[in-house]
Amino acid sequence: MTVTLSATLAANEDIERRRRAGERVLHLAFGEAGLPVHPALRDRLAAASERNGYGPVAGAPGLRAAAAGYWTRRGLTTDPDLVVCGPGSKSLLYGLLLAIGGDIVLPMPSWVSYAAQADLVGSRPLLVPAPPGEGGVPDPDLVAAEVRLARSQGRTVSSVLVTLPDNPTGRLATPETIARLVRVAREFDLTIISDEIYRDLLHDPDLPYTSPADLAPERTIITTGLSKSLALGGWRIGVARLPENGHELRRQLLAVASEIWSAPAAPVQEAAAYAFGDPEELTERIARSRRLHGVVARAVHDRFTEIGACVPVPQGGFYLYPDLSHLRLGGSAEITKLLLEEHGIGVLPGHAFGDTPTAARVRVAVSLLYGDSAEERSAALNSPDPLQLPWIAANLDFLSAGLSRLSPVRHGVVGERPAALVPTACHG
């Protein structure tokens, strides 16, 4: 089996290498939250730094209880014994794929590591497009057809994965779509894995949000972590909420965990237990983070729509998914290379997310626009108008300048340019 470096990590390393060489590159390729660690979390980590034992494979009792409380406050009564902790939700997702077995249905497009992890465990993913204008959830009607076909060919399809809200599109599936997917999952006896790591970063916290666990607690696993909401990507901590009566799955997941990561880092678990308790100082920080992500994401959205790109309006997290096909400059690989090498704009190609390679769709992450230092990022977080901060304004101007220079004529593409700048198929 040939294993390659994750597309997001590879792009991040390439862009950093170019920057060290003196190139001006606008880093829109890496999904890091781009904000400083809250002092309260630093203090908790430092206070627990002498805790150097392995601890329970499932995670410290205090962290599991705190995570159970986190979900219970969001309407999902949770048994701490059905919470499993790991070194990041990414590791937990991999462990779950091993524990569940069989093939998995994934949204198309979807985060780069889902399909890659499925390949690593020998699962063949079924990529199913999301409903128009939505993201993160495969179209339920198409799921039914794909599962039926796969099973007729002798394949074992065991699970379906959703992301709420989504990476790469920044969109949130509607409650109606979730309800339809739950009906399909019950009909075909599929386990639902719901990646909800961006749940607390909905730009509008009043937007209707339905987790599959609200409707099908008996078959839904939820994963989350603190990498996005509290910018703790480097600390590597995640939690999974297993289904009701999920004790056998827990046993299998812990067996996998015991052979891969043993236990999450003890000091980080102490800080995470505090964070999952939703203390006021951290919920206030998350609220400001949510606002900053939304403001900057909408500003970047405007820059792409100004050149005629089809860009669904982002609803959560810090991602956008522009379609530049109207420029007729090639597929996602070609447009990504062009943006980076000729205009200094680093994005990820849509085909890395399972999208059609010939479509010129790219994933844009806005969270590294907030500043290059902790001081700048803190200022962005606390500013009543972050778009007016000189470094953010300069980044947006650089983006606008690069995008404005994109054209078939400028890049030597022969052919008639479409008369309409905005594709009629643009949703959201």
Whole-prediction pTM value? 0.93
Average pLDDT over residues 363-376: 96
Least confident of 31-45, 187-201, 293-307, 402-416: 402-416
Residue 409: per-residue pLDDT: 53
Residue 2: per-residue pLDDT: 62
Mean pLDDT of the chain: 93
Of 341, 332, 350, give the one whose Cα is nearest residue 411. Answer: 341
Place of tokens 């079924």: 126
Is the Cβ–Cβ distance between 315 and 165 less than 8 Å? yes
Least confident of 30-34, 229-233, 246-250: 30-34
Express each pLDDT in 307-363 by its tens digit.
999 999 999 999 999 999 999 999 999 999 999 999 999 999 999 999 999 999 999
Is the Cβ–Cβ distance between 192 and 182 less than 8 Å? yes
Express each pLDDT in 372-417 by its tens digit.
999 999 999 999 999 999 999 999 999 999 999 997 656 655 444 4
Is the Cβ–Cβ distance between 168 and 353 less than 8 Å? yes
Of 3, 21, 19, give the one whose Cα is nearest residue 11. Answer: 19
Q: Could you tell me the pLDDT band of residue 17, with boundaries at 50, 70 and 90?
A: confident
Residue 6: per-residue pLDDT: 67
